[in-house]
Amino acid sequence: MTAADIADLIYRSKKTTVLTGAGISAESGLATFRDALTGLWERFDAEQLATPEAFERDPALVWGWYEWRRAKVAMAEPNEAHRALAQLQAARPQTIVVTQNVDDLHERAGSRNVMHLHGSLFAPRCARCGQRHVFAATPAMEPEGGRHIAPPVCVACGGKVRPGVVWFGEPLSPTTWSKAEAAAANCDLLMVVGTSGLVQPAANLASIGRRAGAFVVVIDPHPTAIDAICTHRLQGKAGEVLPRLLQQARIIA
Ligand code: BV8
Ligand code: ZN
């Protein structure tokens, strides 16, 4: 299958769903999970830090890591891939974007109603009472390589504020998950962009789409765990492949 064939699938699709992972933000300069984390964080394993236990054990370390990541996101810009998906959705409003990412680059590129399976860096809440916390301001500059930062105290109950993300070992929001499942089960084309497909249940959306009879197209420079169940695979960077595909599908000029 060539890029032209896949552009034809996009052109003919009546309902497209897109599942994205950290790889779609790589060309915006944000490290993916499988890459070594830069700065002070290279000695930590994301899967160790992104857990309730880690936050319990050392809240300032974990909060500092998320503030470092939030600062990186604030300094990053959406890339051609984010913009191409926003243009696809503008041309075809029935297009649904489901992301595993906790950054806001899809939204800043213009995508709407993005489903964040794993939450967001921009929705902190009290770990005890759930009260939403409003950030004082975007971190002025990225803390030098990240450092211990004591989490804010909840104004309602005095509990610790935590990042608004889904940690390993935590359940996804049932509403978000059932909407994402429906988006995968009711589309005729599921594009899977920039995810290694190792994290569950998110990666299972590809099998749900495949079982429902959708074409499943993987776009990634490297092999992924979803390659085995996809119908098509395009090797390459999202920021290069997506705009070209949508031009060939006559979605964008
Ligand atoms: C749950 C938020 C149950 C936090 C994240 C054993 C087997 C199967 C499952 C498990 C298991 N042991 C434990 C589990 C469950 C666990 C899991 O899946 N673990 C994995 C590691 C095996 N899952 C969970 O814990 C989930 N919850 O199961 O709850 C439950 C039920 C009821 C009651 C209680 C509990 C919760 C998982 C969510 C974790 N949170 N993020 C944060 O961000 O800090 S996951 C986090 O990692 C990301 O959100 C993302 O989902 C994942 C990283 O994956 P990717 O996005 O794919 O990134 P990755 O680096 O892996 O790959 C990047 C890809 O991009 C690569 O393929 C690369 O080639 C490509 N790429 C690079 N450059 C480009 C590119 N592509 C395109 N263009 C480029 N330029
Ligand atoms: Zn509280």
Q: Tell me which of 3.30.1380.20, 3.30.499.10, 3.30.1600.10, 3.40.50.620 is the CATH number of domain 32-75+125-162.
A: 3.30.1600.10
Q: Where in the sequence of the chain do the CATH 3.30.1600.10 domains occur?
A: 32-75+125-162
Cα of 61 vs centre of ligand 2, distance in Å, is 20
pLDDT for 136 equals 82
Which ligand 1 atom is at minimum distance from the Cα of 221?
69
Residues 216, 72: Cα–Cα separation, whole Å: 32
Closest ligand by atom to 125 CA: 2
pLDDT for 42 equals 62
pLDDT in tens, 95-117: 999 999 999 999 999 999 999 99
Q: What is the pTM of this model?
A: 0.96
Nearest CA to ligand 1 atom 61: 196
Residues 111, 87: Cα–Cα separation, whole Å: 8
pLDDT for 109 equals 98
Residue 166 pLDDT exceeds 70: yes
Q: Is 106 in the active site?
A: no
Residues 33, 41: Cα–Cα separation, whole Å: 12
Q: Where in the sequence of the chain do the CATH 3.40.50.1220 domains occur?
A: 1-30+78-119+172-253
Strand partners, 191: 18, 217
Q: At what angle do helices 238-248 and 80-91 cross, to 10 degrees?
A: 30
Nearest CA to ligand 1 atom 13: 169
pLDDT in tens, 106-156: 999 999 999 999 999 999 999 999 999 999 876 655 555 557 899 999 999
Would you put residue 219 in left (φ > 0), alpha (ψ -120 to 50) or beta? Answer: beta
Closest ligand by atom to 53 CA: 1
Q: Please state which CATH class domain 1-30+78-119+172-253 belongs to.
A: alpha beta
